[in-house]
Structure 1
Amino acid sequence: MAIVSEATAFTPQKIIIIGGGPGGYESALVAANLGADVTIIEEKGMGGSAVLTDVVPSKTLIASADTMNRFSEAPALGIRTRAGDELVELEVHIDKVNRRLLNLAYEQSKDIRRSLEKAGVKVIEGKGRLIDDRTVEVSDSQNLTYRLSTHAVLLSVGAHPRELADAKPDGDRIFNWTQLYQLQTVPEHLIVVGSGVTGAEFASAYRGLGAEVTLISSRDQVLPGEDADAAKVLEDVFDRRGMNVMPRSRAAAAENTGDGVIVTLSDGRKVAGSHCLMAVGSIPNTADLGLENAGVAVTKSGHIAVDGVSRTTASNIYAAGDCTGVLPLASVAAMQGRIAMAHLLGDSVGPLKKHRVASNIFTSPEIATVGVTEADIESGRYQADAVMLSLSTNPRAKMMAVEDGFVKIFARKGSGTIIGGVVVGPRASELIFSLSLAVNNKMSVDEFADSFSVYPSLTGSMSEAARRLHRMPT
């Protein structure tokens, strides 16, 4: 049920947003549309790290890797690449791939800035710091320092890669995920430390681009915390494609030897490679932000504490994105920002519902999820029935020579309401949207199954899974 912003003594008109990532620029557009006087402060460029060093460039890299994967599977479709009488292999020019993805990120950043300025948002290139809950100190790109007063503030300052004391990225042989785009050649042997989303995505991508890859995982499975069936499919694909996955292994140090790297594990084992990617989590950019000056509380991890409408412990200060630790997704950051401004400016709005968030892991195959998880059901938090169908039986998948993947749907016992689902396969990020609509609109499996799906299509398996969850009325 929608709630309405609490009444205040005035309607805030002047709003300062610190940070131009998805949470920042989306909130700026909403606030401007609602008539506020909006200023946004961003140091590195509109879009923040999501656009410049994270989501946009990494998914562009993955798009190139997907093309390579499809060509490697092309013989199953009766297609080979031939130059004259000779069969030839595809070759990756990683320098061109990286130039393209950085150009795309730069253009996307410019597009966002143009949209903001067109909406009447004032853009300041620089840093912002809270002096109190209504004053922001600006240090801009012209080396000017000044203070701006405001009615309200939204913080969207993001996060940066976590580092190990004995495995510092140097941008030469040892990298964090923001530094990989300077490579001029595909690594001969890339060691990826960390098997979470970032590690798994880059490991999948660079294996697709032709690098030998070793993935060091401190947990029993790749993608710990994700759907176990999905993780198993991905591990099988990694194994088939020749990736070396080292479970229950924790990296303690990484050394640049000049012509390669040596990663030392906590039990003393060593792994040699040509390059190393450290993907061991992130740290919120909340230090030296002046939070204590404004009465903004942080959690033990340093994240800004927020409620369901993105409000901090200071009533006129909101926060959105990775700095809040809610969910490290650009879509969630954007939603937090939109909710914050609607609540602040008196528009009708409902709180963020994390159990309805759709997300995707851009490995090959992709893994998309929405709503309640199987772990939630097994723990007893939800009572639900589940059906899982392999894509190996789907006619469109057969035509595309797709062998890996499945569709899984969870429906509440009794009512048959769809409360969650998993899709593993090509373009799962697109396929999950129909299940996301079903979850958000509380559709029953019968309503979902009665909607037409195209034949042949991958969505046909989703419709079939819903049909199998039908129960005769009692």
Structure 2
Amino acid sequence: MAYEFDRTQRIAVLGGGPGGYEAALAAARLGAEVTLVERVGVGGAAVLTDVVPSKSLIATAEASNAVKEAADLGVQFYAKGANDKPVKPKVAINLAAVNKRLLGLAAQQSEDMRTNLLDAGVHLVHGEGRLDGPNAIIVATAKGGTDFDRIEADTLVISVGATPRILPSAVPDGERILTWTQLYDLQEVPEHLIVVGSGVTGAEFASAYRALGAKVTLISSRDQVLPGEDQDAGAVIESVFTRNGMKVLNRSRADSVVRDGDGVLVTLSDGRAVRGSHCLMAVGSVPNTRELGLEEAGVQLTDSGHIRVNRVARTSMPNIYAAGDCTTFLPLASVASMQGRTAVFHAMGDIVNPPEDRNITSNIFTQPEIATVGRTQRDIEDGVVPGIVYKLPLVSNPRAKMMGIRDGFVKLITTRSSQTVIGGVIVAPKASELIFPLALAIEHRLTVDQFAEAFPVYPSLSGSLTDAARAMHVVR
């Protein structure tokens, strides 16, 4: 007689972001009794104040750039002025309307996710939750009130996300000194936006607001923007930034940010002062794990407050799992979703395919975008793995010429012995869409010769991928 796994487990999920949502949905579909606790709305900060609204804002910025750069392709916009003389119109951004739209999109996405959970049979509880030992969650159902629900479960999944890091010397006020969650209250494009922090978040918003017409100063404490990314990619983005009129201050550290009348004053560690109308603090995030009863329940945390998890998203307690930005794994929404599903599959005895660094794709939504997957050039240079790196500039691609693309490249990384694809970088418009073939090549361990056998459309930007693969046939 075949063994049947128990599908009637009670599973409680704390946090309804990408990780918690996918965990709850997967568990319900496998027949578990599922309760999800969320304090702000299904989708969490990722949907309501982070990924969805920020990428919607970036889409608007891309549309603005497309209009401005259309003249390079021979498309000119004119209006009739006095005496029917042509007048070149300016691109105007109604930021209040933009923010209303993107927050509406975020709310709709949250509602769609909520509907999916209810249709799957998930019980939703709105309120502030914390662990009460390893097998229960206590929920305050009214803020500041005394009404509590106690949810007992066989398995707990913690997916409480993270919030912007706040520096004592640069406390946001929601008006002039802002975190990225507060940008959507702005009614007009900032006259001069100072961005402190040149990581992914800082670079994305600096790129977007410059395209929307703001004067932008980007303060970076490192030698180059995007210091944790591919060095060639960072160099391209910094070159585009400066060419588009952005002021980039490398090797500069902000000591303090204060209100200065109707603007802000940023004082650097070397004594220089930068004045602007607004300042965005993009100096990282901290996990929302404080006062959740995690350590009391036996869950191990790092010094930074992140939850220690293994490859199947399991914590130090066998029945407690964790997913997303609150864990020690990669802080990506797609990874959080995979962790949530993996946690439930493992807890319920289903097939588990844990995420691995070697096949995780990520994208930075600057203009142009930067998409990466797998091993990096730094891994090769540092001797982590023996390999070969080949870079092909996009300027040689016929479709890029037609589209007026001047910046970007395709980079392939392979093993030295068999030339199996193990990594890649794409810097291009919509690189997030172009990276998928490389992710498949890595997942299925294709060699460059096997990858080059695929037929891309001619002309297409994806043709640069097979062009690079064919070029590597003779590179040793």
Q: State the distance in 2 between where 1:402 and 1:415 align.
A: 33
Q: Secondary structure at the match of 1:294?
A: coil
Verify: 1:339 aligned to 2:335, yes or no: no
Match of 1:425 among 424, 428, 442: 428
Stretches of 4+ moved more than 3 A in 1?
7-12
Hey, what's the Cα distance between the residues in 2 that align with 1:382 and 1:28? 38
* Equivalent pair of 1:42/1:124 in contact (CA under 8 Å): yes
- The answer to whether the Cα contact below 8 Å between 1:81 and 1:89 also exists between their aligned partners in 2 is no
Select which of 362, 372, 375 maps to 1:359.
Answer: 362
C-alpha displacement of 1:350: 2.4
Partner of 2:17: 21
Closer, same or farther in 2 for the Cα pair 1:76/1:145, shift >3 Å?
same
Identical pairs, percent: 58
1:78 equivalenced with 2:81 (yes/no): no
Which SS does the other structure have where 2:440 is aligned?
helix
What are the superposed Cα offsets for residues 87-113 of structure 1, whole Å, 9 maximum, x if unpaired? 111100111110000000000000000
- The counterpart of 1:66, out of the listed 47, 54, 62, is 62
Identify unmatched segments of 5+ residues in structure 2: 81-85
Structure 2 residue aligned with 1:181: 184
Give the Å deviation of 1:8. 12
> Where does residue 83 of structure 2 map in the other structure?
none
Cα distance in structure 2, aligned partners of 1:158 and 1:421: 28
Number of residues paired by the alignment? 467
- Report the TM-score when normalising by structure 2: 0.96
Given that 2:43 and 2:110 are in contact with CA atoms closer than 8 Å, whether structure 1 keeps it comes out as yes
1:9, distance to aligned residue in structure 2 (A): 11
Verify: 1:302 aligned to 2:298, yes or no: no
Return the alpha-carbon distance in structure 2 between the equivalents of residues 303 and 131 of structure 1: 19
Equivalent in the alignment of 2:95: 94
The CA distance in 2 between the partners of 1:208 and 1:359, in whole Å, is 23
CA distance in 1, matches of 2:236, 2:136: 52
Residue 289 of structure 1: CA displacement?
0.4
Aligned to 2:163, the other structure's residue is in SS state strand
In the alignment, the residues of structure 2 paired with residue 266 and residue 109 of structure 1 have an alpha-carbon distance, to the nearest angstrom, of: 42
Q: 2: distance between equivalents of 1:12 and 1:256? A: 56
Unmatched tracts of structure 1, length 5 or more = 1-6
Q: Tell whether the 8 Å contact from 2:135 to 2:154 is kept in structure 1 after alignment.
A: yes
Q: Which moved more, 1:64-73 or 1:454-463?
A: 64-73
In structure 2, how many angstroms separate the alpha carbons of the residues matched to 1:351 and 1:110?
29
Partners of 1:39 and 1:81 lie apart in 2 by 55
Q: Which residue of 2 aligns with 1:313?
A: 316
Give the letter aligned to residue 61 of structure 2: A
1:30-69 superposed matches below 5 A: 30-69=26-65
Alignment partner of 1:268 is 2:271: yes
Instruction: Output the amino acid matched with 1:446.
Output: D
Q: Would you say the 8 A contact 2:193–2:217 is kept in 1? A: yes
**Cα RMSD after superposing both structures:** 1.5
Q: TM (normalized to structure 1)? A: 0.96
- Please identify, of 47-56 and 263-272, the stretch whose mean Cα deviation from structure 2 is larger: 263-272
- Counterpart contact for 1:411–1:469, Cα < 8 Å: no
Partner residue, 1:399: 402
Q: Is the 8 A contact 2:223 2:251 kept in 1?
A: yes
Q: How far apart, CA to CA, are the structure 2 residues paired with 1:10 and 1:111?
A: 30
Measure, in 2, the Cα distance between the counterparts of 1:382 and 1:104. Answer: 43
Cα gap change, 1:400 to 1:9, in 2 (>3 Å): closer
